[in-house]
Amino acid sequence: MTQRPYIIVNVAQSLNGYISGKAGRRVVISSPEDMVRVHELRSEVDAILIGSGTVIADDPRLLVDQNVVQSAIPPVRVILDRSMRAKPSSRVFDSSARTIVYTGGNRVDSRKCEIRTRDDQGLQIHNILQELHDDGIGKLLVEGGKTVITQFIEERAIDEFYLYIGDVIIEEGGLKLFTPGFEIRNIIKTVRPFGMGVLISLDPYHLQRLWKTQVKDT
Ligand SMILES: NC(=O)c1ccc[n+]([C@@H]2O[C@H](COP(=O)([O-])OP(=O)(O)OC[C@H]3O[C@@H](n4cnc5c(N)ncnc54)[C@H](OP(=O)(O)O)[C@@H]3O)[C@@H](O)[C@H]2O)c1
């Protein structure tokens, strides 16, 4: 049986359901209060994982803000980048934290990270998670984007799921994680006001079951 880290997914969406702007345009959805929560969450995990689409669109550093939490060892940064699309100059490849890239390509360049070249089988989420578990990653935070989160939902590899609804409305044409008609109200565990937005915790078990139905129906 596959062993895996404990997995937390965190995603922010606009009032009208978008997690990104049109053509991947980066938009700030989280309120300052929510950013503090995200940095606290980061400080509690062993690793943070994102896909190359998020590296390209947002260029995050994926570090813990030391003004929020004084943490000695930053979480490992894990990047899924099948075809090495993320630029070596991306901020996630600075040397501030250990960084692992899972890829299908074997380009050698200047990025400061550990490149793990795997075949299609090796890039399946359950195999990556088994490896991370074997590396001592006990808790993993998944910060997106849509393609990556979808794989975690389909793999049924989520223990906690946080959805922050920010006080912004984004132009049509961006990415939505949940499609119209998705019966999200049936899987909400808790809802609480947070800054100028709302923090929702979803039941991961029922999310994964409902997701399957949604995919089947479309
Ligand atoms: N609101 C939020 O909370 C939030 C959070 C994060 C991101 N975002 C937004 O989401 C958008 C990005 O989402 P996205 O769906 O386009 O991209 P993504 O999920 O960040 O990354 C997808 C890419 O990652 C690679 N990948 C995925 N699974 C892999 C695997 N198992 N092994 C190896 N590589 C794998 C693939 O690269 P290849 O194409 O090379 O195959 C794939 O195209 C951005 O616009 C960003 O702003 C929003």
Q: What's the pLDDT score for residue 2?
A: 79
Q: pLDDT by residue (tens digit) across 164-195?
A: 999 999 999 999 999 888 999 999 999 999 99
Residue spans per domain, the chain? 6-217
Cα 136 to Cα 48, 101, 121: the distances in Å are 13, 17, 21
Name the band, by pLDDT with cuts 50, 70 and 90, for residue 213.
confident
Asked whether 92 lines ligand 1 (CB < 6 A), one says no
167 in helix, strand or coil? coil
- Could you identify the atom of ligand 1 that is nearest to the CA of residue 150? 19
111 in helix, strand or coil? coil
pTM of the model: 0.96
Q: What's the pLDDT score for residue 215?
A: 60
Asked whether 11 lines ligand 1 (CB < 6 A), one says yes
Name the band, by pLDDT with cuts 50, 70 and 90, for residue 216.
low
Q: What's the pLDDT score for residue 188?
A: 97
Asked whether 63 lines ligand 1 (CB < 6 A), one says no
Asked whether 212 lines ligand 1 (CB < 6 A), one says no
142 in helix, strand or coil? strand
Q: What's the pLDDT score for residue 72?
A: 77
Which one, of 198, 169, 170, lies nearest residue 34 by Cα? Answer: 198
Cα 196 to Cα 29, 30, 217: the distances in Å are 10, 9, 35
Q: What's the pLDDT score for residue 180?
A: 84
d(C-alpha 212, C-alpha 121), whole Å? 22
d(C-alpha 53, C-alpha 97), whole Å? 20
How confident is the prediction for the chain on average, in pLDDT? 93
Q: Which two tokens stand for residue 79?
A: 């990047």
Report, as an integer, the average pLDDT of 56-77.
93
Q: pLDDT by residue (tens digit) across 98-134?
A: 999 999 977 777 788 999 999 999 999 999 999 999 9
Above 90 in pLDDT, residue 212?
no
Report, as an integer, the average pLDDT of 38-42.
97
Q: pLDDT by residue (tens digit) across 200-211?
A: 999 999 999 999
- Could you identify the atom of ligand 1 that is nearest to the CA of residue 24? 45
H-state helical runs in the chain: 32-43, 52-58, 125-134, 146-154, 204-217
- 139-142 and 197-202: which strand pairing? unpaired
As its CATH architecture, domain 6-217 has: 3-Layer(aba) Sandwich (3.40)
Q: Please classify residue 203 by burial: count the beta carbons closer than 10 Å to its beta carbon, then call 0-12 exposed, 13-18 middle and 19+ buried.
A: middle
Q: What's the pLDDT score for residue 218?
A: 46
Asked whether 27 lines ligand 1 (CB < 6 A), one says no
The DSSP line for 144-165 is --HHHHHHHHHTT--SEEEEEE
Above 50 in pLDDT, residue 152?
yes
